[in-house]
Amino acid sequence: MTISQAERRDIDAARAETFPTRRPTVPALEEILFQPLPVLDHGFVRAVDYMGDDGAVVQAARVSYGRGTRKVSEDKGLIDYLMRHRHTTPFEMAEIKFHVKLPIFVARQWIRHRTANVNEYSARYSILDREFYLPDPKHLAAQSAVNRQGRGEVLSGAEAVRVLKLLKDDSNRVYDHYEEMLNETPDGTPRDAKRRGLARELARMNLSLNFYTQWYWKTDLHNLFHFLSLRADAHAQYEIRVYAEAMLEVTRRWVPLCHDAFVNYRLGGIALSAKALALVKALLAGKRVGQKESGLSPREWREAMAALGREAG
């Protein structure tokens, strides 16, 4: 993770300020508010603002005026019920804002989630730093033979060395050309007074997708859980999954009851089709059922058997 001295001063100044308020705050989240959580080689996630807590979800579900004398166990039971039965509106009553630094190719995946408010760093206005993502060798894998958007075996030896060298050399080369075309330093001073630089909005187009960008991303808890259910899943691409895992930890601090319900019913649970449910009932009754008798496609059969921890044969 790369944080400049100026950015660190801004973070320290923000963390040093305190404000009196009558609205609910969450001490566990306040502990890390504004603090960057490292992700990948230069990236980070940091929570910078939030509204509401577990109580806001409960209050919306009950349409009550305040916290009253409810017990935590009562709130937990209600939140579990809401999550279990997919009553999503109460979860929209809590919101959070993140500042995220991430590779451009991860941002292009991320932006597919269109239910957030996003403001991204502008390379039309500012000059990007020489910061690009280089995978750890253990994450350099060949194309999967069975999954068109997945990875197969990890590269090793000379293959891995060659790929890393190509990634690093290409990234440095395009940034050198980016600087040459701009012909200016980050403070706007010309590098060569005898020639004009290309407009920033044009010079940026030569940069590769592993360069870092930044944005502020604000969303409500319901849509955050939808994002995490897809991106914190074991099948998600590694580079976006590690961001989701960092955000999941923030969520655990912020709304622990909602977090636990989400992990139990959504992230760690499965949804069964009507045919798959009928299969489970038949197996519980001691019946022998094969793929053809189940009415499931071969792929659905394999997925159902995997979920149940059984052989697909």
Q: What are phi and psi of 99, to 5 degrees?
A: -105, 125
Place of tokens 């859980």: 225
For residues 100 and 243, is the Cβ–Cβ distance under 8 A? yes
Which helix (DSSP H) or strand (DSSP E) does residue 301 occupy?
Answer: helix 298-307
Whether residue 231 lies in the annotated active site: yes
Task: Give the torsion sign (CA, 53, 56, 62, 68).
Answer: positive
Rounded distance, CA 72 to CA 78, Å? 10
For residues 249 and 118, is the Cβ–Cβ distance under 8 A? no
Of 200, 231, 241, 266, which is the active-site residue?
Answer: 231
- CA within 13 Å, CB half, 6: 0
Angle between helices 221-231 and 238-254 (to 10 degrees): 140
For residues 240 and 125, is the Cβ–Cβ distance under 8 A? no
Q: What are phi and psi of 168, to 5 degrees?
A: -70, -45
Q: Taking the CB of residue 103, how many other CB atoms lie within 10 A of it?
A: 25
Rounded distance, CA 283 to CA 311, Å? 13
Nearest Cα residue to 221 out of 257, 185, 272: 257
Q: Which residues are catalytic?
A: 231
